[in-house]
A and B are shown apart, each in its own frame.
Chain A
């Protein structure tokens, strides 16, 4: 059988950690159905969280996978990279312009009007959802706009969400 013998190449540097073996099997099954490239693997010893089976995925797709699994009520513990820092970058940098402020979160940037709260621009990145988010967000008021993490699917969207959070905080604090 062609399909049976076809190897799934994932090599995506991400792991979906679960509590129980059956959860790992379910996660793999539901993600494969909707087209995610995933496969069952044994997690490295330092990432074992109660079960010796996990699901390898493309870490860049973390946001979309998390949203999908939560929407389907499929239990999982965490999605994290297989190497390097395990925690997302949480530092932001702020650049002030005349009447506007730009927040940099990792590779993503968002600029809002200090006066109106309107998202004036997004830049940096990125993954394929970033130009899409630019079209969806620019011109919207930060306090009314849909969050990048709810609209996007990738890690770049998540970093843009960090910048969004900080912009919202700056706007609320006046």
Chain B
């Protein structure tokens, strides 16, 4: 069971917990419809597409409206802190939330008290909060981009806006950044570093670099990092090893960019809408997960 927890940019949207379905241009959670825009909604949509294709359980979504005040973030954390020991999911993936270190610490402590081994993933500000709260090592997977790797490599920074200038200026020195991030336990066990080259890093060692297909315009499109995180979460929950889930997700996101003919002005929905075709054409060869279509 996978829970994806993160805010959506709709003021006063209530706290909602339930199964999600991706319906083309919007998400349906219980009786709520959420537009598929950049952020948590893109992540959920990608994860829903994986579960729909694999015919596995759809992700459970925990969301609330928040446009930066932290109100929705607090509702989400408090719900998780109070209920995680009753729900006992296999995987929790945290996404767009205000980085509130105190709540992140409480949440991780609560997860560590649970009787099952709940695996944690984080992206966006939840990853910033996990690092700043000293909880990064409790996470299975982080999905930073290159600038966020610089932040993880800065032992003192509590937000990427305050990372050391020389780290950002010399971000091409990936190996050094990885060493620094792991030296101070500021990285998850596995990193999927998103960029022109995607790096898969396990316990501080680069185990795979993904360069093809090379679609430079993907980086400009809001939500393309979110969809990778959604794919990783769903594939991991479906039973793949973290490194397998990361490698496959990075490749699928690139191929989807190619299928969608991504331009800098593309919308994230253009990419999510082709995942089904990409899975059909490539998932079997990439993962060994082969779906046999029954014909009448």
Residues of chain A having any CB pair with chain B under 8 Å: 9-14, 35, 37, 58-61, 64, 81-91, 95, 97, 100, 102, 104, 106-107, 109, 111, 113, 120-132, 134-135, 138, 152-159
Contacts and interface: CB of A to CB of B under 8 A. Distances in A.
A89 B7 contact: no
Contact of A60 (B99, B133, B165): B99
Interface of B: 7-9, 37-41, 66-73, 96-102, 105, 124-125, 128, 132-133, 145, 147-148, 151, 154, 156-165, 168-169, 216-217, 219-225, 264-266
16 contacts: A83-B156, A84-B154, A84-B156, A84-B158, A89-B168, A100-B220, A106-B163, A121-B264, A123-B225, A127-B68, A127-B124, A128-B73, A132-B9, A134-B9, A134-B38, A156-B161
B124 A126 contact: yes
A13 B160 CA distance: 13
B272 to A, nearest CB: 15
Given A13-B101, A58-B98, A120-B265, A131 B163 contact: no
Contacts of B151: 107
What are the 3 tightest A-B residue pairs by CB atom distance, in nearest-first order?
A129-B68, A84-B156, A153-B68
Which secondary structure dominates where chain A touches chain B?
A: mixed
Contacts of B41: 131
Given A102-B220, A131-B39, A153-B67, A124 B97 contact: no
B233 to A, nearest CB: 18
